[in-house]
Each structure stands twice: as C-alpha cells, then as structure tokens.
Structure 1
C-alpha cells in the first residue's frame, strides 16, 4: 500500500477520541475487562455477534456504555466466530452489505433499549484491512451504513477506500490511529503473524501516542517516520493489560492535547 497524498500533511487534533473494542465475550468465554475499560474510553466499538459477542453480551455492553456516557459504535465483521473475524472472506458485495445491515440493526436494538443508540461504525479485523483497498467491499459497508442511517459516522484507517467512499456518500469519515499496534513504512499495520505487531510496553505506547497527538508521526518497524492524521486513537480490548494501557494512553493524550472526547460529540 502506497502513501495517500493526504498522509503527507500531518494534522494536530487538539481533542482526541479514545476508542476500544468491547462486547467480545461469547457464552462462557470471557474476553476483556469491559466494566473497567468503559471508565477510560470515550467510544466503545461493540462486537455485533459475527466475530464475537452474543445477545446478552451486546445488551450488557450497551448498558455499560450508556451508563458511562460513552458513544456506541457497531464493530462489524465477517461471519467468523471461529477465527475471531481475523480471516479474510471473499464475500459478495451484496451479501456483505446485508451482513453489515444485520449487525447494525441488532446492536442498535440493544442500544436503544438501554437508552442510547449506535452513532458510528467501525469494521473489525480482516474486514478492517480489506476495506482499505477492496473497492467492492468498501462500497458494500458504506451502502449498508448509508441505508441504515446516513447520520452515522464511519471510523477507519486514514487514506482507506472505506473513508473515501464514506465521504463520497455524504457520511462523516473519521480517521483513526492505533496506540498498541506497530506501523509499517507504508502506513499500514504490521501483520499480527509477525513478532512485535502488538505493542505492550507502556513507555513505547505512550511515546507513540504522544507523537500522534502532537503531529510528529509514528515510528515504523524500519525506523522511518510515518505521518498519520487521526481524530481517534484505538486500544484493543483483547491486548494483554488493555485497561492499564488505556489509562496510559488517556493520560498521555490529556498531557499533550486539550482532552479526550468522543468524535461524535465534536463538530465535523
């Protein structure tokens, strides 16, 4: 993947959103400390049942988010519970559109029951990476969002086809960066199959976040500096020590910027 031209212009964003994945438990399998994480973040990417999450988990996640005043986002994925949504599936665009609509509707039902609503969408795992450059799948996701609720925002990788298609459809396109993932020289993320792909050292994470917030760019795996513009920073809920890492990220943002606030509460 080549640098989009927009990446050459680093933008300092004074108020940053902090998002994290929630609701990824399933049945008797518990993943992440959602109750603690919700107290640190400003936006919750709630799994919608395709890669993780079950109805009761979706309900609890929405209740937690509404109770904490945290924005609710639909974290949509391929239908891949066994692979946690991290395996690419070559889904036909029409089928993918309907799968995304299904997930949006399910989560929004629980969100409204809890007194809130879904305000944005973020793809998960392999789908997140696919819509960076796969035009058919990017359009399918955007078509689903636009037909469901054209006021929803779309959260994704800077320079991706997903965000370009979202903007072209009149949706709010929100670029994000990652606190706990290693970047490559082309602005992508180092494959999880490679050593060092997931950052766990708090000092390294804090420095990456500081550089993001101050507009200095991130240090890639080859030592080069990669410009990344972001309105939101993500912490993975399944990363070891996710709650502790999220607190480090929040402290770093608050020390380097104006504060932490959901991007859905900031004028576009």
Structure 2
C-alpha cells in the first residue's frame, strides 16, 4: 500500500472512530440528549462498535491501525518502520476531524449543557469557574473529547493505561493481523472490537481507557480550540499519560510477542 493510501485510510478511519466513540459519550452525558444517563455499558459497547465500523471502512486502504500504539506494536514485531510517521499523522488528523464532527452533531446539546445553571453555576459565577477550570484541570464536557482519571495519581493512571494497551496490542499482533501482517483483517477487526469492549468493561473505570494516544490528544486539542461557552480547561497536566502510557504498553506487548510467539 502507498503512503497516500495509508494517510487517507488512517485519517478517514480514525475520524469515524472518534465520531462514533466520542458521539456515544456525548449522547450519554450531555443535557437534552435522548440517551442521557444510559451508562458505562452503553459507552463501552459504543466504542466497540466504533472500532468495528472504522476498521472495516479503512482496512482496504491502510490496514486499519487507527492507533499510534498499534502502529508502534506492529513496527516492533515486523521490523518495518518505514510508514510509522505517515500512520501517526493520519491518525492524529483523523482524531481531530472526528472530534470536530461530534461537536457539530451535538452542537445544540453542548450549548444546552454548558449554559445550564445547575452544571456551570449561576451566570455571575460562570466566568470565575471557567478560569478556575482552565488553571486546575478538566472542564465540564472534556470527557466527551478525551479521558481523565477518577483518582488522580500519575503512577496509578499511567499503569492503568499501560496495562489496558498491553492487552489491546497483544491481541492485535497475535490474532488480529491480516495476511500481510501490516494491519487488521476482516475477522481480526471483529475480534479487536470485542477486545476493546472487554477492556472498557474490565479496565476502563480508573482512567476512561484511552489506550490510544491519537484518540486522546487529537480531541483534547480540538476541545482547547472550540468556541464552547464555559468549557473550562483541557487538563493538559494529565494529557501526557494517555499518550505515554499506551506507547509503553504497546512496546511491552510487542516485546512479549517477539519473545514468546515469534
């Protein structure tokens, strides 16, 4: 596959991934959404279906990595590093596009949520609360775009992301690769989607299971740029964990694969 096919495939696929994955979070948490309060199970299955849809759309072009950690794991196991930068660039751009599409799809709900007095406080306090949020951490809708911990402890949060991504990448490199070994095949796509659901149900509680640096960083950048009223901060102090943790987890999974399976 050519570099242009890889870039286009990863951009489209990751945009679909974030549109549907971020979309289910928006559906569950935003005011005036018919799916509000549907719960964690809806979110985890929504993300699983998002992975499945994105994989089948993008696999013919790029092999459907859709995740810099998956790309890193495949590069380590295969020894082919030639297109890693192209994959990562497409994934980050696609994640940003997908996050912007979630904002467009739920534009009215974002506005209703962020102007609700019970959510952002009285009008007289809104500006002060927004400043405080920018300085101290996450705004009230950041969870639609990116992840955050329930208990803020860098070592624990990093370990959770490492472990979750380790499971994901080990599943990809042992079961999910196509015949060329450079991406997800048809059956592999279904298997990985189910693994993502399993990770969300079993390991997603502490941090929201980013397990994908582009999935977290791209939408976080979009959150910082969007003209959302009373949006608060983008929690940049935490942002390194869902980037570094998945990359470490991917490298560990690929290392184990090379020792035990290759």
Assess same fold via TM > 0.5.
no
Q: Which has more strand, going by share of residues?
A: 1
TM-score scaled by length of structure 2: 0.29
Q: Which has more helix, going by share of residues?
A: 2
* Structure whose CA Rg is larger: 2
TM-score scaled by length of structure 1: 0.29
- Larger RCO: Structure 1 or Structure 2 (Cα < 8 Å, ≥ 6 residues apart)? 2
